[in-house]
Amino acid sequence: MSSSKKFTGIFFLILGPSGVGKGTFLRQIKKDWEQRTDIIFPITATTRKPRKGEKDGEDYFFLTKNQFEAKLEKDEFIEHAIVHGENYYGLPKDKVFAALENNNYVIRELDIQGLWNLKKILPPENIFSIFLMPPSMKILEKRIRGRSNLPEEEVRRRLETAQKEIEHAKECDAIITSEEGKINEGIITVKNRILREIALNEK
């Protein structure tokens, strides 16, 4: 562990392959819990281009590669990774560490690389990971193809990455299936799992 800080809160990670619905889950949970002052939803920095409807400073911090690498040199990220072989993603340290030191809770979407990196920085008792599992690879492929007009090569790359991520799902603390047509039920299940862990942490 590279940090000597004392953390009392929990970092909840929402993991899962591209197309499983992580962003949708997080947006709804953030909306439902926006009045809670003990839960923060930190913003990730990325070098990928914004998708339709995404706003800088709300969904992500959109940076150029040079900007991102300058922050890397200053050690300003709690973790970072290159996703799909091209885009940087990184989670700024400041608000995350402050929340965990103050017995608050952090909820954020990350990939399996992010989980591995966080385990090098935070104690295991301060991390709780939830893996969103697609009902099947066939349905996941349908979701990926329906998201936008992706080139066939990109679709194949995302599916290959998804298969590798699913193989590591057992490393997470909980696995919840994102059933087709039942997103609200899935969100409720994720929220209840988070609330259970918060209650256990505050005993």
Tokens of 51: 């998708």
Give exposure, 6-26, as e/b (b: 16+ Cβ within 10 Å).
ebebbbbbbbbbbbbbbeebb
Query: What does the alpha-carbon distance between residue 7 and residue 1 come to, in Å, rounded to a whole number?
Result: 12
Query: Would you give the distance in Å from CA 125 to the centre of its chain?
Result: 18
Q: What residues form DSSP beta bridges with 13?
A: 108, 129
pLDDT in tens, 139-180: 888 888 877 678 888 888 888 889 999 999 999 999 999 887
Do 26 and 41 contact (CB within 8 A), yes or no? yes
pLDDT over 60 (residue 4): no
Nearest Cα to 158, choosing from 142, 137, 144?
144
pLDDT in tens, 36-61: 999 999 988 999 999 889 999 888 89
pLDDT in tens, 49-104: 998 899 998 888 999 999 999 999 998 988 888 887 789 988 888 889 999 999 99
Residue type, 114: G
Domains and CATH numbers, the chain: 10-201 (3.40.50.300)
Residue with tokens 């998201």: 147
pLDDT at 7: 92
What pTM, to 2 d.p., does this model score?
Answer: 0.81
**What Cα–Cα distance (Å) separates residue 28 from each residue in 24, 141, 149?**
6, 23, 25
Confidence of residue 2 (pLDDT cuts 50, 70, 90): very low
Query: What does the alpha-carbon distance between residue 171 and residue 190 come to, in Å, rounded to a whole number?
Result: 17
